[in-house]
Each structure stands twice: as C-alpha cells, then as structure tokens.
Structure 1
Amino acid sequence: MRIAIDATAACTPRPTGIGRYTAQLARALDDIGSKISLGTRCSHLHRHRHRLSIPTVNRFWIQEPWWPPLRRPDVVHVTDSRVPRWNSPRVATIHDVVHLLPEDRMSRQISTREFRDKKIASYQAIAADCQRIIAVSETTRRDFLGGVECDPEKVVVVHHGVDPVFQPIEQSKAAEVLAVRGIPTEAIIYVGDLSHRKNIPGIVRGFLAAELGDVPLVIAGEASFGGTGIQELIESEGCGRVRLVGWLGDDVLPSLYSSAKALLYCTHYEGFGLPVLESMACGTPVVVSSRGAAPEIGGDLAESCDPDDPASIAAALHRALGHDRTHRDRARNHALAFDWKSCARQTVEVYRQAIELADGPH
C-alpha cells in the first residue's frame, strides 16, 4: 500500500497538537513498515527547514489545488481537516470541531466569523469527498456528525498515542532542566495555546481561588486568537504568582510535567487533549473541564470541573493534589495504553477501508 500524507501541519518550528499528531503518526507508520511519502504545501515554502523529515521516507511539495504528478498512491491522507485533491482514495483526520457547536456554548468568541465559516465549509467538503474520516475521539465524532450531514459509517475513531519520552523524571534532573530556562518547580501548570477556547482567564482565576500559598502557576504556550490580552490579565489579576514561559518542546516538557504538582487543563473544548495523557504518563495529577473530549481521554483518573466556575476549578485542583501514589500509578498505566504504533495500525486499517470503498460499486 502506497500512502501519501499531507504533513503540512508538522512544518513548523514549534509544533502543537495537530503538528505533533502528524509527526508522531508518520513516524509510527514508518516504524511498522508502511510505505509512506510526506507532502508539504507550497504555502509553507518559507518554512522549508522545518519540514517533517524521516530518514527512510520520500518528501514532495504540493501546489494547491493540484498535487504533483507522481505515481498515483493507493491512498491520500490529510491530517489537518482538509480535503485531499489527488484523484485517489481519500482520508482526512478531524481534530476539534468546536466551530460546529452552537456559538452560545462558548462564553467568548473563539475565532473570526470568516475563519469559522471556512472551517465549517471544510468539514462539509470532507464529509462529501472523503471515503473515510478519522476522528481523534468519540467526542469529535459525535460533534462532527451532529453538525455536518455525513454517513456515520465513514467516521472512525482512532485515538492518539503518547510518546515514550513522557515518563517520570527524577526531581533533581527535572529541576536542572527547568532552571536553565528560569522555570520554577513544584508548580501548577498549564500546557497549550493561549486563546479564548483554552480558557486561560478561567484557569488563572480558578488557580487563585484555590489559595495555594506561594505555589506558582506556570503557563507554557504561545498566544493565538484572543491570547494577546493574557499578559495584561496576569499583571492585573495574577498577584505575582503566574508565570508565562512560552512554547516548550519535548526536550523540556517531561521535566515540566514531572516537577509539577498538577496540570490544570480546564479548557472550554478539546478534540483530544494530549497534555492530559502526557501529564499522567509523567505521574502528575490532572484537572480537566467537564466539556469536550478531555473527560473521555482522562476517564475517572482526572478530576473534572466546570470551566466557568473558579470555585469548581479550585475544588477539583484540591482533589487532584490529594491523589496518592496508587491513583497516580493507575493514571500512568491508563496513559501508556495510548500507543502511537497502535494508532498507526488502526490508521492503516482505515486506509484499507477507504481503498475498498473507492474500488467498490458506485
């Protein structure tokens, strides 16, 4: 099976959710012996130094709306909610579909109207034009089918994995890694984008409501839509206890998770929520929102809260801080059950289904 993957989402110096998914899936597919090639859209030519590179895998450029005249692959996979334009069996991955939800479910605007309309149009095109659609969680699948007319049999859930790099790091070693960057240890942490959807104001207010003395809140991530006012919020309400440390890579994140007292991840909506599993894999308790996919991914091993209620966030944080070693070990085992090679094998099965459907009667 010849697999062409549009890996544009991984062409960035600072990958986050979709970029990390794309890179990890491609590596796992290569590890299990799949014959893949990796494409990058020419719109990212200026970032050519950051193209995803796997030693044994060929790469190519994509000039939209045309794909290059290579030998036709058996299946084409786009990982960032777009429709592949090659005349081959098509698979697309959908991640969070928050733009399909009624706007009144969000306490604040999460994007421009133009961007929202563009995303909805792309979901409709995926439903119409792809033989198979991968949803990264049951929540994503449910919300996608609730917002777009689509044959339910097309949409298959394949969970992410957790990179083995996420494991408990000895406290002294973690402290050394963080000290180089001026990051405090034994903090409450948040990892992810800084945007309205991520509920940073609610996280800050819930953290402060917990009244944890001199324990700091460390926020690791970069600003996206609605994130430019975060610094002002921190200066006005953070009481000097909130630290912005910017984007962190996998060379630092295991130390951050391992040294933390808890991950505070009470966002308004997630399609999956990799930090939930990464934190658990490092032995650190987790607080999640009662909305989106985070409760699905964390299960009963993460503490749940109302993201709009600081008192609820604070109470959940205190419960998480009370997790004993047995609970943390169970959470770690739960996280380790999410494996990238398993994700790759399930994805190959989705490819087979797409090929069979395209080759079948019309």
Structure 2
Amino acid sequence: MKKRVLVDLATLDDLYHGYGQISMNYGKYFKAHYKRATAAYELTLLVPKNFIGAFGNEVKYISSSNWLRRHCRYYFPKFDVWHSIHHMSRFKPYSGTTKYIYTIHDINFMLSEYEATNKVEQNTRRVARNIDKATILVAISNFTKREISERFDIKGKPFEMIYNGVELLTDKTAVKPKQSPKMPFFLSISAFREKKNFHLLLDLMKLFPDKNLYLAGNDNTEYGTFIKQRIASEGIDNVHLLGKVSEEEKVWLYANCEAFLFPSTFEGFGLPVIEAMQFGKPVFSSKETSLKEIGGSCAYFWDTLTPQAMKQVIDDNIDNFYLTPELADIERRYAETFSYKTHFEQYEAIYSKLVQ
C-alpha cells in the first residue's frame, strides 16, 4: 500500500495573498504532473471546500473549511508525510509518527519594528513549536535559513533551502487596468504595509515630476490610508493607487512599465522582483533582508533609502539599461532559474525520500 502524503493548500481562500498564489501554483502543478498509478505516494490536498475537485481526479482532497478540522486536529485522518508550504498555517499533523516538512518563508515578524510585541511573541512560539515537530525544515532563501538557524534551536534537524517557484507570466493574457496608466510610468506591486516602504516612493516621485508611479496592491489598510492622505495633503499628483489588480492587469503593468521599484526592507524572498525581470524591466530595489540575494547581479540596489540617493541610482542606470538590450536578455534568463519545475523537483525528492 502506498504511503499517504498531505500538502496543505488551505491559503487558497485568499488568492490576493502571496501564500494563496503559491497554493494555486502547487495545485496547478499537481494537476499537470501527478499520476496516482505511477507516483511513489498517494497525494491528498488540504483545500477550501470550493476547491475540492479543482485540481483533477488523480489527487484526493480534504476540506480545510470544516470547523472541526480547523479547531480539533484529531479529526484529520493520519498521513505518513505532511507538508506545510508556509510557516503560519493553522494546520499541522496530530500524529507523532507523521513526517513533517515545514517550509519557512521569513521571520519578518521578529525583525520589523512595526509588529506589536504580543504578536511577535505569539508567532515566535508558533514557529518554535513547529520547528520542534518538524522532520525536515525548508527555507525559501539562504537569508531566511541563516535567520532561522541563528534565532531558533533547530536541534540538528535537516535544513534545506529551496527557492520559491515563480510562475511564468509573460505568456499570460494582458489586460489594461480600468484606471488607464499615463505613460511612461514606474511600477511597484505589494500589499500596503509599513515594511513595504511605499512612503519613500512618495518623496522620490517629487523629484520625478515628468514620471508617473502606479502602486498596485490591497490599499484597504491603515498604511494604505496613510499613503492616500499624504498624496492628497501634499498634492503628489503623479502617484496613483490601483488597489487590487487582476492577474491579467498585473501582466499588463509589468509589460508596460518603464521600471519596477521595490523599496521593501523585509522580504523572505521578494517575488515581484523576479516577476518584473521576466519582462526584461530594470528593477530598482532595497538591498535589505533577502533582496540582495534574490535580485543578484541583475537588480540595481539602493544603498541609501533617501529620495536623492534613490533618484541618483535610477538616473545612473535606466538609460544604459535600455541602450544595452542584452541586459534585458540576461534578466530574463536569470528569472527562468526560479521556475516551478526546479522548485517541485526538489520537493518531489523530499517526498520520495520520506515515503521510503
């Protein structure tokens, strides 16, 4: 009888969140590649009830929407291997014999000055408990792996680094946003949270009066309100908020922007950096946390996050980027190294090893 593997895709309940998008890409991958007859294990996906059946009939499903399962883990059947694809999942295996793969994206809650003390303590305890329970740990960047190793007792457990897969967007349909962007424009995409540093871009854009900046992401937050108030009170008429955008609109924005700006200081990976590179766009980024690692030699980094210094880096590099076409080609090839194919080959090796 084949061993049973569960992969937790419960974050499909929020497709506007990065974890939701990762879960969707896992589901798509398994639908395309998992075949029960030839696989070394029987695969079950933990998904919201409206996603049961969404990824074909080769996999089995368990609903994460069930109240008892959310609050009483003993209602879960037993699995031989359990994979939490992110570190803040509400679910984990109840059986002490289940081999547990625990993927950690970041511990930004410990690093950011914006997190409440009680929230930091709560999340730290959760991560520590899951590390204790894990059979194998996986980090999504070398930066995250170092931070975890320094701040938690991993008790000598196997600890792998597997980069996030980044879905190829360049072949997808592009749809122009309803709020038609004024050309040329800079772009930044992220949820509106303090650590994303959108407020720095407001001061930067005062130095670029002939350019426009579009900020895409959920701005229905306290920080989003702060950004809107600053734009209104300071008359910053070349910064525009798009709110949540569809996948098709995001593709259009990447394809048509002049440059991608990413001043975030807390990232376990920095997915938008690689997405923008898929389109051969110059990327200007903070060098903090994982971003220097992920941007590599292709991104342009701000050493100092002040408006004048940030503008200087853009001015010094953007024209040369467009005058040197091979730079965009190098970017695209680099972005291809973060494929989901490579990502899943590495996880498949772990699944297969643990079910032996």
| TM-score, reference length from structure 1 | 0.84
- State the 1:185 CA deviation: 4.3
**CA distance in structure 1 between the partners assigned to 2:148 and 2:170 by the alignment:** 30
| 1:314-325 aligned within 5 A | 314-322=311-319, 323=321, 324-325=324-325
Instruction: Please tell me whether the aligned partners of residues 135 and 155 of structure 1 are also in contact (alpha carbons under 8 angstroms).
Output: yes
State the one-letter code of the partner of 1:200. Answer: F
- In the other structure, the counterpart of 2:102 is 92
Contact kept in structure 1, 2:260 and 2:283, CA below 8 Å = yes
Instruction: Note closer, same or farther for the CA distance 1:247–1:79 as it changes in structure 2 (3 Å cut).
Output: same
Equivalent of 1:291 in 283, 288, 309: 288
2:116 is aligned to: 112
CA–CA distance in structure 1, aligned partners of residues 222 and 79 of structure 2: 37
Tell me the residue number matched to 1:133.
137
Shift of 1:355: 5.1
Could you tell me which residue of structure 2 aligns to residue 220 of structure 1?
A: 216
Residue 329 of structure 1 corresponds to 329
Asked if structure 1 preserves the Cα contact closer than 8 Å seen for 2:202 and 2:236, the reply is: no
Are the equivalent residues in 2 in contact too, given 1:134–1:156 (CA < 8 A)?
Answer: yes
Q: Which amino acid aligns with 1:204?
A: L
Change (3 A) 1:281 1:152: farther
What amino acid does structure 2 have at the position aligned with 1:190? Answer: S
Q: Does 1:6 align with 2:4?
A: no
C-alpha spacing 1:67/1:340, structure 2 compared with 1 (3 Å): farther
Distance 2:127 2:53 in 1: 25
Question: Which residue number in structure 2 is paired with residue 267 of structure 1?
Answer: 264
Provide closer, same or farther for how the CA distance between residues 246 and 116 of structure 1 changes in structure 2, counting only shifts above 3 A. same
Q: How far is 1:237 from its partner?
A: 3.6
Aligned to 1:122: 126
| 1:20 matched residue in structure 2 | 21
Partner-residue secondary structure (3-state), 1:251 = helix
Alpha-carbon distance between aligned partners in 2 of 1:52 and 1:231, rounded to the nearest angstrom: 41
Matches for 1:72-221 after TM superposition, within 5 Å: 72-81=78-87, 82=89, 84-87=92-95, 88-101=98-111, 106=112, 109-151=113-155, 153-166=157-170, 177-178=175-176, 180-209=178-207, 211=208, 213-221=209-217
Check whether the contact 1:183–1:245 (CA below 8 A) recurs between aligned residues.
no
Match of 1:338 in 2: 338
Letter in 1 for 2:211: V
* C-alpha separation in 2, matches of 1:90 and 1:16: 24
Are the equivalent residues in 2 in contact too, given 1:156–1:350 (CA < 8 A)?
A: no
Report how far residue 24 of structure 1 moved: 1.3
Q: Which runs of 5+ in 2 are unaligned?
A: none
Q: Give the aligned residue type for 1:3.
A: V
1:315 CA displacement: 2.1
* Alignment partners' CA distance in 2, 1:228 and 1:111: 18
Task: Quote the residue 1:38 is aligned against.
Answer: 45
Unaligned runs of 5+ in 1: 357-362
- Residue 238 to residue 265, structure 1, CA distance change in 2 (3 Å): farther
Structure 1 residues 179, 344: closer, same or farther in 2, change over 3 A? closer
Q: Which amino acid aligns with 1:217?
A: L
2:248 aligned with 1:251: yes
Secondary structure at the residue paired with 1:226? Answer: helix
TM-score, normalised on structure 2?
Answer: 0.85
Q: Which has the higher contact order (CA 8 A, sep 6+)?
A: 1
Please give the secondary structure, in 2, of the residue aligned with 1:178: coil
- Counting matched residue pairs gives 334
1:65 and 2:61 are equivalent in the alignment:
no
Report % sequence identity: 21
In structure 2, the CA distance between the partners of 1:5 and 1:215, relative to structure 1 (3 Å rule), is same
